[in-house]
């Protein structure tokens, strides 16, 4: 029996659901990254967990809440049933609104990411 793997996903910032402009959400919540040096040896460095996507910006969009957030929680539920959480979250980088499309691309970074 076939099972859904992609498609609609749900994105919440501190419990407020945001409307995704597309279902392309990038979830990068690894705590560390390993890089090979030579066969059998690697270096390991810390990573900043992050989640990003493109969102629709209606009049009710919680812009000020997101801009001021410095210890938020981001939750993303994928069509496959996987759920990711990012805690200690804040808006990273710039996030310009594209007026012609009515969308905004945002990247959130945080202190801890986990698959639930």
Ranges of each domain in the chain? 7-115
What are the pLDDT digits (tens) for 66-115?
999 999 999 999 988 899 999 999 999 999 999 999 999 999 999 999 99
What are the pLDDT digits (tens) for 22-76?
888 999 999 999 999 999 999 999 999 999 999 999 999 999 999 999 999 999 9
Confidence (pTM) = 0.90
**What are the tokens at 81?**
């049933």
Query: For the structural domain made of 7-115, what CATH number should be given?
Result: 2.40.30
Please report the beta strands in the chain, taking only residues with DSSP state E, as ranges in sequence order.
10-13, 16-18, 26-28, 32-38, 41-46, 50-56, 72-77, 83-92, 97-98, 103-109, 112-115
């Amino acid at each position: 029996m076939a099972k859904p793997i992609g498609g609609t996903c749900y994105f919440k910032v501190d419990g407020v659901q945001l409307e995704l402009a597309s279902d392309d959400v990038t979830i990068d919540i690894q705590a560390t990254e390993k890089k090979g040096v030579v066969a059998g040896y690697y270096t390991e460095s810390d990573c900043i967990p992050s989640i990003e996507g493109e969102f629709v910006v209606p009049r009710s969009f919680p812009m000020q809440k997101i801009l001021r957030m410095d210890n938020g929680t981001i939750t993303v539920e994928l069509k496959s049933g996987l759920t990711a959480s990012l805690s200690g979250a804040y808006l990273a980088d710039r996030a310009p609104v594209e007026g012609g499309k009515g969308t905004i691309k945002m990247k959130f970074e945080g202190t801890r990411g986990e698959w639930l």
